[in-house]
Chain A
Amino acid sequence: MGRTLAEKVWDAHVVRQGEGEPDLLYIDLHLLHEVTSPQAFDGLRLSGRPVRRTDLTLATEDHNVPTTPGPITDPISLTQVHTLRRNCEEFGIRLYPMGDAEQGIVHVVGPQLGLTQPGMTVVCGDSHTSTHGAFGALAFGIGTSEVEHVLATQTLPLKPFRTMAITVDGELADGVSSKDIVLAVIAKIGTGGGQGYVLEFRGSAIRALSMEGRMTVCNMSIEAGARAGMIAPDETTFAYLEGRDHAPRGEDWDAAVASWRELHTDEDAEFDAEVVIDASELTPFVTWGTNPGQGAPLSHSVPDPATMDDTERQSAERALEYMGLVAGTPLRRIAIDTVFVGSCTNGRIEDLRAAAAVVKGRRVADGVRMLVVPGSARVRLQAEAEGLDTVFTEAGAEWRLPGCSMCLAMNPDKLAPGERSASTSNRNFEGRQGKGGRTHLVSPLVAAATAVRGTLSSPSDLEPLEPLVPAADLAHQEA
């Protein structure tokens, strides 16, 4: 019988199989950041073990870094960052620190350097490692003791995952993006629906996505409870990779591409589960609750918990209370005070371009602060070369330095209690963006339109920039 993409990558990395034991899998790339690594290094030190493959390991500083110029002032953040620097130095690991030309969010840095390639196994002590699956890599988040395990052995003992096909066929309407696809998937299967599965996104709508769009989709697979998300590599993938710093060159490139072309699910392979979504029916999607599965099309209203089954109802009631929302309120009427464009979900150049195109020539609404935070130093430079920074600042938004920023309340960018954001990040959990803060997850397009109107909006809600009939003529006609 044929094999799925995930099974092919898995099989190619089995170091050892034993009766009744998990497979021992080889890890091609191990990414580190300052939050989940210190205790792993501590463990190595305690047991006197070295790092087995420093050349397959890379560290970056992202979660704690401030996005305004100047040093870290929070003492605990500083300790974590200094600890990472000390550990990398002691164990001989390459690190891209704050201010470095290659620094950025770990899941933005790997792909842009060409380090993430099809068919690889990629791990990081961070659940959004699933992002790298966009290249047809098997990429997943691990805990700190697994980080220690990979550092010491470059392998992980793992039990096989089940596979789920998520087929998205059809064409996306204008103003609908990859973020809306994945939010709709999560709302459909629930935050536990992907439990134990590797999701493979396929279908014409997925094929049509850029690498950035595919990364957004895979990034959020984890929010459906899945272990990883994957997309088979194709010409789009190869074109993205060719010429990047760590991509193979010359004959190596040809050999690599030849092997990458084998990385697709065989016709006769079977998935353990299948979900089908019609892309042409999708519209901009936003969340109203406190988990990423509590979402709805922007054209809908806040749902009524009374119509839900028991478990869902309790969770929805709590969510509405926390979010300060009343069932029946049209989502478009919800006023926000903060807009965040950034994170490893939507902090890439294409995301910034999409948001900039919406705010260009417009103003951020009074009383709304909009933060635009590039995912890496490279993204920042490129955006500035394209003049996007000026577009944002002229509209009244803040243009920041790269980092995780307001995706999580670990650095100075936070929501105050009761503040409400439209955010392009990936988690709307209670307190995720700051204690008492309320998060609506949205696409970059919706975030930008929301910033302009001050209420949850899509670009189609905005007044056209140029009135069709000049205002003076209108006045004349009426007179």
Chain B
Amino acid sequence: MDAFTTHTGTGVPLRRSNVDTDQIIPAEYLKRVTKSGFEDGLFAAWRKDETFILNDPTYAAGSILVAGPDFGTGSSREHAVWALMNYGFRVVVSSRFADIFRGNSGKAGLLTAQCSQDDVELLWKLLENEPGTSVTVDLVSRTITAGDVVAAFDVDEYTRWRLLEGLDDISLTLRHEPDITAYEQLRPAWKPVTG
């Protein structure tokens, strides 16, 4: 996983709330067995509409998505995170994220920056009035800077540390392998096995 300290890129205002994972990546794209190439499925239904924001060439290089509240609700599919990342997004900004989506994002290296809805509105206005505005997301100071907007964002300490270090989950856990073995020896023998 690549380390994330600061990222500067094009902000994309997505004025929609309750963006569920079926909209981020429709079920029909889930059948693939790889971890890459999901960019064509990102917001597939909405992209059929010519006026949808990602069809505007100004945002072609978009890497910071600024969305309404309750982003990532619905199915636990991690493909939603891959689709966003494969497309080129490194950061999603929203005032509220669905838990599973947020967890999935942290592990894959997509930053979910949670800030106030007022700040989201300010960013929307700025990005709509001046399309293509460059936005900087600084994970060290936890701030989003765009034009004259400076917004603080929340991300939990643990996820932040891991993103900053670029640490992968499994290697972290396997450092405690003896604890796992010790726990296994204490499990009641009647617990079911599948074999």
Contact = CB atoms under 8 A, between A and B. Distances in A.
A binds B: yes
Contacts of A301: none
A210 interface: no
A117 B30 CA distance: 31
Interface stretch (A231-239, A338-346, A359-367, A425-433): A425-433
B103 interface: yes
A255 interface: yes
A37 to B, nearest CB: 9
A256 interface: yes
A263 B91 CA distance: 41
Interface string B14-49: 000110101100111011111100000000010000
Interface in A42-97: 42-43, 47, 49, 52, 54-58, 64, 74, 76-77, 79-80, 83, 94
Nearest to B183: A15
A248 B68 CA distance: 49
Contact of A24 (B68, B179, B187): B179
B48 to A, nearest CB: 10
Interface residues of A, number: 79
Contact of B170 (A49, A77, A117, A427): A49
Interface in A303-330: 311, 314-315
A193 B163 CA distance: 29
Interface in A31-45: 35-36, 38-39, 42-43
Contacts of B23: 429-430
A252 B194 contact: no
Given A127-B75, A259-B188, A196 B31 contact: no
B190 to A, nearest CB: 4
A246 interface: yes
A114 B176 contact: no
A446 to B, nearest CB: 23
B189 A252 contact: yes
A117 B192 contact: yes
A229 to B, nearest CB: 14
Interface stretch (A145-153, A369-377, A461-469, A471-479): A145-153
Given A20-B157, A20-B158, A143-B100, A55 B169 contact: no
Interface string B88-117: 000000001011100110011000000000
B169 A157 contact: yes
Contacts of A227: 99-100
A467 to B, nearest CB: 46
A409 B18 CA distance: 21
B195 A55 contact: yes
A449 interface: no
A253 B190 CA distance: 8
A376 to B, nearest CB: 16
B116 to A, nearest CB: 15
Interface string B163-195: 000000110111011011001100111111111
Contacts of B183: 15, 26
Contact of A55 (B45, B99, B176, B194): B194
Interface of A: 15-16, 20-22, 24, 26, 28-29, 35-36, 38-39, 42-43, 47, 49, 52, 54-58, 64, 74, 76-77, 79-80, 83, 94, 114-115, 117, 120, 125-127, 141-146, 148-149, 152-155, 157, 159, 191-192, 195-196, 225, 227, 246-248, 252-253, 255-256, 259, 291, 311, 314-315, 408-410, 427, 429-432, 435
Interface of B: 17-18, 20, 22-23, 26-28, 30-35, 45, 68-70, 73-79, 81, 96, 98-100, 103-104, 107-108, 156-158, 169-170, 172-174, 176-177, 179-180, 183-184, 187-195
